[in-house]
Amino acid sequence: MAINLNTPRDSFSSRLGVIAAAAGSAIGLGNIWRFPYVAGENGGGAFLLIYIGFIVLIGVPVMLSEFVIGRNTQRNAVGAFRKLAPKSLWPLTGFLGISAAFFILAFYTTVSGWTLEYLYLAISDGFKAQSAESLTQNFELFRTSGLRPLMWQNIFMFLTAFIVYKGIKNGIEKYTKILMPLLLVIIIILGIRSVTLPGAAEGLTFLFKPDFTKITGKVILEALGQSFFSLSIGMGTLITYGSYIGKGENLGKTALSVSAADTLIAILAGVAIFPAVFAFGIAPEAGAGLVFITLPMIFDQMAGGYFFALIFFLLLSIAALTSTISVLEVVTAYLSEELNLGRKKATVIAASSIAVLGVACTMSQGPWAILSVGGYNLFDLLEMVSANIMLPLGGLLIVLFVGWYLTKDAVFAEISNQGKFKAGFKFAYLFIIRFLAPIAIAFVFLNGLGFFSIFGSGN
């Protein structure tokens, strides 16, 4: 194991910085692009309810467990397991995370590229007076066109690498602190416009009124996958960020605030999107294009729509960027600490090798549609496998590791900052990571993948 002992390890400089960076990782396209479309495909209200249940009961404890591992070891996702469990198979959990980082970043930069195109369209007033049909058609044309989405994707990957290259304090922290609150404000404004559209009520009913007949094994697995994806957990992102958190921070509170902020933004995105979906007669299960079709319709109906469209897509791109840097950081930290590559070299190698998979992913949307398995193109496949399989599996291993491999005393010491405060939730936390979370994840997994069926297959 190669650890550079000469230079002090980079870290976050303030409490606000820690929360902003972790929230910046969590809040992203997962909330605004993925949450509404996955909720739309999986029945709306019932999905939301299960999703929130998973955030509270599994998501927050998994996030705290990642922080525990990271801050305790001050290492990257692989090195952390190597330090705590040398000569064991546990470091494989870290490698699972590194692979997930490749998969996620490949399709995530595709969608991030779409947001840049839409930012460009917003600037050039490209949504004016278009019908839902023509917006859908234009989105499809663009998505499948190959070269243009590829150009945006690579610009985005370059921006991501640029910030990661700069390091923690002067890169990641600086850029996230100011921009997240701004995003919140703009989503609230959009939500207000959306719920005041004629016919909006139907959308709110769809989002908030659970229809329990819609629940299937697949819906539950999708909700679990979405909760992990949205919180950035299960792949060591928050082990890595946790390793930059100072010893004086309260990890439990941090996990709770980050998860609350993330969930709030997802729900607000739903409130902005579903009323408009119904008001404009778009199908809620329209899929990955949902926000790119719905939101331009709202902007067109708003006073000052040009201006709002512009800042919205700008902020969405930035929200995506604060997430992509956290994913790239997982691979960069691994390469630089474990292979002793030097941070800058590690960033370049990580970004360029992921970009290769990214190209295949973007091209699989159109020109290389041949890159598909069982009706899923490469993009869909990477998205599904990473969110619904790799992240929950990683989360399962992480809670088992903290719950059963680490000693109870070590875990309690870490979450209470060596006994500096009480951490009254510690027994509940221990119960969850030892029993509830592992059993629930394993159950949802096997049921959702069709090993047995409690709620029907959902197909």
36 binds ligand PHE (CB under 6 A): no
Contact with ligand PHE (CB under 6 A) among 21, 22, 31, 40: 31
Q: How many residues bind ligand PHE (CB under 6 A)?
A: 15
361 binds ligand PHE (CB under 6 A): no
Region from 22-30, 116-124, 210-218, 368-376 binding ligand PHE, contact rule CB under 6 A: 22-30
Closest Cα to residue 69, out of 83, 59, 57? 83
26 binds ligand PHE (CB under 6 A): yes
**Pick 23 or 341: Cβ nearer ligand PHE:** 23
28 binds ligand PHE (CB under 6 A): yes
51 binds ligand PHE (CB under 6 A): no
Contact with ligand PHE (CB under 6 A) among 42, 237, 243, 336: 237
**Pick 153 or 216: Cβ nearer ligand PHE:** 153
Task: Report CA torsion sign: 79, 85, 86, 87.
Answer: negative
- Shortest separation between residue 346's beta carbon and ligand PHE, angstroms: 18
Closest Cα to residue 388, out of 454, 458, 446? 446
Closest Cα to residue 157, out of 168, 165, 146? 165
Taking the C-alpha atoms of residue 153 and residue 130, their distance in angstroms, rounded to an integer, is 26
Phi, psi angle pair for 85, to nearest 5°: -135, 65
| Contacts (CB under 6 A) with ligand PHE, residues 171-230 | 229-230
What is the residue whose two structure tokens read 């007669």? 281
Region from 41-49, 114-122, 231-239, 275-283 binding ligand PHE, contact rule CB under 6 A: 231-239
- Shortest separation between residue 251's beta carbon and ligand PHE, angstroms: 18
326 binds ligand PHE (CB under 6 A): yes
104 binds ligand PHE (CB under 6 A): yes
**Pick 27 or 220: Cβ nearer ligand PHE:** 27
Contact with ligand PHE (CB under 6 A) among 30, 61, 252, 270: 30
Q: Which residues bind ligand PHE (CB under 6 A)?
A: 25-26, 28-31, 104, 229-230, 232, 235, 237, 323, 326-327
